[in-house]
Structure 1
Amino acid sequence: MHHFFQPLNHLRNIRVWARRHDASVSLDAVTFRVTVTRDGRVVTLVPRFIMEMDTGFAYTNHFGDDDTLFCGWLPYDVKRWPLASDKLAFKQYCEQAGLPVPAYSLQGMQQPDTDFIVKGRQGSFGRGIRGPFRSGSAQAQAVVLSPGQFFEQFVQGECAKIWCWNGCPVAMERLKAPFVVGDGVRSLRELLESSGRGSFDVPQPADKADHDVLAWQGLDVDSVPALGQRVVLDFRYASPFDRTITRDRDVLSAQSVSMRARLHQMAGSLAQGIPPATREHTIFTVDAIVDEDDQLWLLEMNSHPMVHPASYVPMLDSLFGVDLLSLPRD
């Protein structure tokens, strides 16, 4: 995700649009707001930053003197709606709309008969997730839900994040789970802290490995994996084992025709779940898993995400109405 934190990656796409449509762009170095002007009409883009707090990470629009990471511009401050703030409301909406979601069960209900994880109804950045747990194992049977939590079927596959503007997908990332490969001699601790035998690019402290994920594979950090054994280290989209890659990881255009059709149908359906007063000119992301059969399983919706640089051309098209002007006339 390092690509998102570089303002030039965002400005380039805004500049591409401005040149194409004979518009001007200015950046206020004090507020970090961007102003786009075309044919006398002005659109102001508000910056977004990620800051670290005692309770975790949070977003802010304020360009202060503290240690924050830039993560894009939007034409509004903040928008919120129920499907993006309550994971269970999102799941129930998807079920009614015929969109695929992993099986789940609530407090007081039986655990899933599949491997599962534990999630809270609220939360972002992967906080508060426990598991995965092997179905029927002693560890799984000992799991007790706290108020506001639920069981969710653990689906293995690639982590996907889809950016949608005005109910249309504009970018997609698909990331494989980080892993290390055993050599039959060294422990996981030694492999993580001293070796490049894995998907990550620099040695990492052993305590960064997700211990529930290791236990799900019957391992811990002191286990010695067999020669050639691939050990998964995490399953979340944002992982400490992410490679430091600054290039764009958007793969939307590389998806199959059927996948792109599913993404368009999904984005349009979810957009209808946004209240009408909020729906127009709105960005959201969808977290999902793509399994080994290329099936998409939806996990949650985010109303205030990091902004993908690919968002700006469709964003400015709709804000200035040039997408409508380009449509065939009767």
Structure 2
Amino acid sequence: MFYFFQPLNHIRRVREWARRHDASVSLDIETFRLRVTRGQQTAQFFPRFAVDTGAGLAYSGYFGERGPFIGWLPYELKRWPIASDKLVFKQYCKQTGLPIPAYWQQGAPQSEHFIVKGQRGSFGQGIRGPFRADHAHALGVVLNDGEYFEQFIKGECVKVWCWNGRPTAMERLSAPFAVGDGRRTLREIVGTVRGSFDTVYDLDVSRDILAWQGFDPDSVVAEGQQVRLDFRYATPFDPTVINNRDVLSQQSDIMRAQLQQIGNSLAQAIPDELRSHTVFTVDAVVDAHDQLWLLEMNSHPMVHPANYAPILDDLFGIA
């Protein structure tokens, strides 16, 4: 996510639009609010920051002494039910026929592989698993208040940004993994620094997914075998990537059409008074058959720089 945390990546996109359309841009360094003016019309943008709360990352609009910048929105804050509660999101998807993994809160496991998630929260906080259904009883996997079971689908993590229901950017990320060498334990492999930009990783966060694959941190894995270390969008194993990871334009026509239909449908769930001029993201997973499965919606996301051109076009009435 390093790309999002660099203000210049955001400023450049706004400046490019302003130059194309003979507009001016000003930035208040006290509040980090941005103003774009074209002719007699002005649009104000409010900053977003990611803040470590101790319990995990959260979003803030306050330009304080800590927390990286994660983009501007043309409004201060919007919230709506299907973006605040994952079970409400799932119920809406089920009613409208949007593809989602199976989920349940009681009874026997409804899928061979599953995870435990909380109804609320972002950045993959509080997720447990994956677990195998035939191991669940032995492991004592039970739900806490506000949690539910969800079918675990092995695949690539997807995050899609939408403006007014229209997809504007997409990331599609493979799961982080380690490669066995037949000699060292997994703990030794991920704890070995190979270069000046490398780091040492802690496998304690990977115990569930290692066990799901039949390993633990002290397992010696066959040479060349890949072992997944996580499955979430944001993980402790993410490399520092300075390049733009937007791959929306590289998707098939079928995938882009599906994303457009999903964006339009989810936008209709936003209350009428909030729907116009709104950014949201959709988290999903793509399986081995290129099938998209929706996981959740976020009403106050990190802003992808690709959003600014369509946002500004709409705000200033440019076709």
TM-score by length of 1: 0.94
For 1:220, which of 216, 220, 227 is the aligned residue? Answer: 216
> Given the alignment, which residue of 246, 253, 259 partners 1:250?
246
- Indicate whether 1:238 and 2:237 are aligned: no
Q: Match for residue 301 of structure 1?
A: 297
> 1:188, 1:206 within 8 Å by CA — same for their partners in 2?
no
Q: Which amino acid is the alignment partner of residue 190 of structure 1?
A: E
Deviation at 1:55, TM superposition (A): 2.4
What secondary structure sits across from 1:50 in the alignment? strand
What are the superposed Cα offsets for residues 275-304 of structure 1, whole Å, 9 maximum, x if unpaired?
A: 010000000000000111110000000000
Residues 24-63 of structure 1: CA deviation (Å, up to 9, x unaligned) = 1011111111100011111110111111112221111111
Aligned partners of 1:206 and 1:221 also within 8 Å = no
Task: Check if 1:167 corresponds to 2:165.
Answer: yes
SS at match of 2:175: coil
Q: CA RMSD in A?
A: 1.4
- Please say if residues 102 and 110 of structure 2, whose CA atoms lie closer than 8 Å, have aligned partners that are also in contact: yes
Aligned with 2:184 (options 183, 186, 192): 186
Q: Which residue of 2 aligns with 1:16?
A: 16
Deviation, structure 1 residue 166: 0.5
Instruction: State how far apart, in whole Å, the 2-side matches of 1:208 and 1:28 are.
Output: 43
| 1:69 equivalent in structure 2 | 68
1:81 corresponding residue in structure 2: 80
Structure 1: distance between partners of 2:233 and 2:103? 20
Does residue 176 of the first structure (1) align with residue 155 of the second (2)? no
Native 8 Å contact 2:201 2:237 kept in 1: no
Q: Distance in 2 between matches of 1:35 and 1:207?
A: 45
1:126 maps to 2:124: yes
Q: d(CA) in 1 for partners of 2:272 and 2:118?
A: 27
CA distance in structure 2 between the aligned counterparts of 1:141 and 1:92, rounded to whole angstroms: 29
SS in 2 for 1:250: coil
Letter in structure 1 aligned against 2:17: W
Alignment of 1:1-330 (within 5 A): 1-64=1-64, 66-106=65-105, 108-138=106-136, 142-194=140-192, 196=194, 202-207=198-203, 209-323=205-319
CA drift at 1:163: 0.3
Q: Which amino acid aligns with 1:59?
A: Y
Take 2:162 and 2:318, find their aligned partners in 1: how far apart are those partners? 18
The 2-side partners of 1:15 and 1:138 are apart by: 53
Identity of aligned residues (%): 60
CA distance 1:21–1:208, change in 2 (3 Å): farther
Q: Name the stretch that deviates more: 293-302 or 17-26.
A: 17-26
> Hey, what's the Cα distance between the residues in 2 that align with 1:228 and 1:90?
40
Q: Cα deviations across residues 78-101 of structure 1 (Å, max 9, x unaligned)?
A: 100000000011011011111100
Q: 1:183 to 1:195 in 2, by over 3 A?
A: farther
SS of match in other structure, 1:194: coil
Distance apart, 1:16 and its partner CA: 1.2
Would the alpha carbon gap of residues 72 and 263 (structure 1) be closer, same or farther in structure 2, given more than 3 Å must change?
same
> 2-side partners of 1:208 and 1:35: how far apart?
45
- Report the residue type matching 1:227 in the other structure: E
Per-residue Cα deviation, 1:135-191 (whole angstroms, up to 9, x for no partner): 212556621111211110000000000000000000000000000100000000100
Q: Distance in 1 between matches of 2:200 and 2:281?
A: 29
Distance 1:84 1:22 in 2: 36
Q: Unpaired segments of 5 or more residues in structure 2?
A: none
Contact 1:113 1:136 in 2 (8 A): no
